[in-house]
Chain A
Amino acid sequence: MKQRTKIFNGFSFSLLLLLSALFLFPIYLVIINSFKSKFNIVGTPFEFPNEDTFVGIENYINGIQSSGIVGAFFRTLFVTVASVLAIVIFTSMTAWYITRVKSKFNKIVYYLFLFSMIVPFQMVMFTMTSVCINLGLNNVIGIIPVYLGFGSGLSVFMFSGFVKSLPKEIEEAAMIDGCSPLKTFFMVVFPMLKPTAITVAILNAMWIWNDFLLPYLLLGSTDKTLSVAIQLTMQGAYGSIDWGGFMAMLVLAIIPIIAFYLVCQKYIIKGVIDGAVKG
C-alpha cells in the first residue's frame, strides 16, 4: 500500500514538474531573449545569451524610448485599477442583493450573469464595438464600464457563492445595531467578503492588464494600452520587428501583474478554499 502511494506521488510529482516546465518555458524564452541582440534572437532563439550575443539592457532602453510605451503603461494601469475597483464594488453589492433578497426577478438576473460567462467575446465583439462607439465609450474612461460588463459574470458568481456561506445573523445584528443597508454592506458584509474580493481582483486584473482585443477594437491606436502599444510600436515598417525591444517590453509588461499576484496569492488560495468548504 505504502509502496503504491510512493509510486503514485512520484508519478504525479514528475507530471506536475513537466507541466510547470511547459508553462514556464515561454516566459524563460522571453526573458533570455530580451538580453540578446535582435539578430541573434531570430537565429538562435533557444540559446542562453553569451559574450557575443549579450547586449545588457540595451533592448530595454530602446523599447522604453520608442514612442508611447510609458504613456501606454500608465494608461493600462489606470484602466486596470479603475475597472477592477468598479468590478469588485459593483459585483459584490449585486451579489449580496440578489443572494439575500429572494425573488423571481433576482433569480433571473443571477442566471443572466451566469449566462454571460459562457458567451465568447468573439461572438459579440463587432456588434458591441459599434454600439460602444455610438455611445461614445471608445476612450480610456468609456472602456471601464465595458470591462465591468465583461468581468461581472464570473465575479457575481464567485461573490454569490461566498455570500451564501455567510451567516445572515451577522447582518441582522448590524441592523439591530443601527446600520442602514448601505452601511451594513460596507461596514460588515464587505470586510467579510475580503478573501473573495481579492480573488476577484486578481483574476480580473490579470485579464484586463493583458487584454489585447477589446482595447484594440475600442481604443485603437489613439489611446494605446500596453499590449496594443507593444504590438504596434515594435512592429516597424514592412513587417520588420525589433524582436529585442519586443521581448524587453514583454518582460516589463508582465512584471507588475506577477508582482501583484505574488503579493495577493496567499489570499487567492484562502478565497478559493473558503468558497469551496463553506459554500
Chain B
Amino acid sequence: MASISLKNIKKTYEDGVTVIEDLNLEIKDKEFVILVGPSGCGKSTTLRMIAGLEEITDGEMYIGDKLVNDVSPKNRDIAMVFQSYALYPHMNVYKNMAFGLKNRKVPKDIIDKKVHEAAKMLDIEQYLNRKPRALSGGQRQRVALGRAMVREPAVFLLDEPLSNLDAKLRTEMRSRISMLHKELQTTFVYVTHDQTEAMTMGDRIVVMKDGKIMQNDTPQMLYNHPQNMFVAGFIGSPQMNFIYCKIVRNTDGYYAQFENYNIKLPDRMNDALSLYTDKEVVLGIRPENIHLAKDTKKKSFEMYIDIAEMTGSDYYLYGKLGGKNIIANVPSNMQIKSDTTCSMLIDTDRLHIFDKVSENLICD
C-alpha cells in the first residue's frame, strides 16, 4: 500500500525530445487513478517512469515516503501489466506467475499457495500447466494480472491492458479489474486512450495532452464541468458540440449569437460573461442536451438531419444548425428519418462557454 507523488517531473529523451515538461501529480494510497489522453500525450511515459523503466530527467518521484528516482524497478515494490501481456513464452502459466516470487526467494509452499489463490480468483486454475501460446487473449491477460497479483505489490501499474482484446472481452475484463481493485485494496495506476474505460473504472481521471495535465478530477466532474475544450471534447461519446458564437448583451441578459440564431444564456453566467460582451466565444453543448422540441411554443430551432443513426436506445442525429455540423442524442422512442428537418431545443442549463483563444472554460 502506498501513495505516489510526482514533483516537477521532466522527461527528455536522448535525441533531445522533451515529452514531459513539468508534471505534478499526487496519487493517494488505494486510489484507482486513470491516465488518459491521445497517443503521444506522455501517459505511458509517465507510467513507465513510475515503474522505473524510464529514467527521470528532472524532478522527484516518491512511492510512499521513499524517493525512488534512482531505485531499480525490482526494488520499487510495484507490478506492471503490459498491453502485449509480456508473458514468458517458454514458461507455463504456473511458472509465469511464480517467477517473481521465486526470484525473491519466497518458500515454495507459499508460492504454491499464492499462485493457486490468484488463479482461482481469476478463473485460470485449469490452465496452470499450459504455455501462453495455448491461451486466448483474455486468458493471457488474466495470467498477466495474476502474475502481478501474486507479488502483492504496493502499486499496480497497468499500461493499456485491454487494448488487444475484442469489445466483449474488454467489457468483461473492465469489471473484473474494478473488482480486483476492490478486493486487493491497493493503489492502481491505469493508462488508456479509451475514454469509456477511463470513465467507468477510475476513482479519479487525469486527462493529459502533450505531456501536460489538462484536468485531474473525478469522472463526474470531468464530464459535467470540463475545464477546457480539450477535456470537453475528449470525454464523452459522441463528442461535445462546439459552436463559435458572439456574446451579445440585451436588456434581459446575455445572448449567444451565431448566424441568425440567438440563444438566451442563463443569468448565473452574467458575471463571467461581462468581460466577453461583443466578443467571440465557443459554446459547448453535449449531444444529449439537445432535445426534440415537443412544445413548439418554446424557443426551438430547426435542425436539418443528414443522418439519423439508431443505436438501440438512442438516435444519434448528425445534422446542421445554420451552417454548423451538430450531433444530437435523443431517445429512440419515435421514428426519425434522415434528410428531414426537426425542431430542436437546447438545454441552456447545461451549456459550457469557453474562451476562443485560451480554450479554457469561462463558465458553465
Chain A residues close to B by CB (< 8 Å): 102, 167, 169-170, 172-179, 183, 187-188, 191-192, 194
* A178/B74 contact (C-beta < 8 A), A170-B88, A183-B103, A192-B90 known: yes
Contact A173 B103 (CB under 8 A): no
Distance A174 CA – B52 CA, assembled complex (angstroms): 13
CB of B2, distance to nearest CB on chain A (Å): 15
Contact B89 A192 (CB under 8 A): yes
Q: For A102, A167, A169, A179, which residue has the most chain B Cβ atoms within 10 angstroms?
A: A169
Q: How many A-B residue pairs have CB under 8 A?
A: 58
Contact A175 B73 (CB under 8 A): yes
Interface size class of B (residues with CB under 8 A): 20 to 34
Distance A178 CA – B103 CA, assembled complex (angstroms): 6
Residue of B nearest to A194 (CB): B90
* A167/B103 contact (C-beta < 8 A), A176-B74, A176-B79 known: no
Give every chain A residue within 8 A of B89 (Cβ-Cβ).
Answer: 170, 192
Contact A169 B84 (CB under 8 A): yes
Contact A172 B86 (CB under 8 A): yes
Chain B residues close to A by CB (< 8 Å): 14, 51-53, 72-74, 78-80, 82-84, 86-90, 99-100, 103-104, 147, 151
Contact B82 A177 (CB under 8 A): no
Residue of B nearest to A166 (CB): B89
Q: Which of B52, B72, B82 contacts A173 (CB 8 A)?
A: B82
Q: Which of A170, A175, A179 contacts B53 (CB 8 A)?
A: A175
Distance A11 CA – B182 CA, assembled complex (angstroms): 68
CB of B63, distance to nearest CB on chain A (Å): 13
Give every chain A residue within 8 A of B87 (Cβ-Cβ).
Answer: 170, 173
Contact A172 B74 (CB under 8 A): no
Contact B74 A175 (CB under 8 A): yes
Residue of A nearest to B148 (CB): A176
Give every chain A residue within 8 A of B86 (Cβ-Cβ).
Answer: 167, 169-170, 172-173
Contact B84 A179 (CB under 8 A): no
Q: Which of B82, B83, B103 contacts A179 (CB 8 A)?
A: B103
Contact B88 A174 (CB under 8 A): yes
Distance A172 CA – B48 CA, assembled complex (angstroms): 10
List the 5 shortest-distance A-B pairs measured between CB atoms, nearest first. A178-B103, A169-B86, A177-B100, A191-B90, A173-B86
CB of A191, distance to nearest CB on chain B (Å): 4
Contact B82 A178 (CB under 8 A): no
Give every chain A residue within 8 A of B147 (Cβ-Cβ).
Answer: 173, 177
Residue of A nearest to B75 (CB): A178
Residue of A nearest to B157 (CB): A176
* A177/B84 contact (C-beta < 8 A), A172-B53, A192-B90 known: no
Distance A34 CA – B229 CA, assembled complex (angstroms): 87
Q: Which of A167, A176, A178, A192 contacts B80 (CB 8 A)?
A: A176
Give every chain A residue within 8 A of B83 (Cβ-Cβ).
Answer: 169
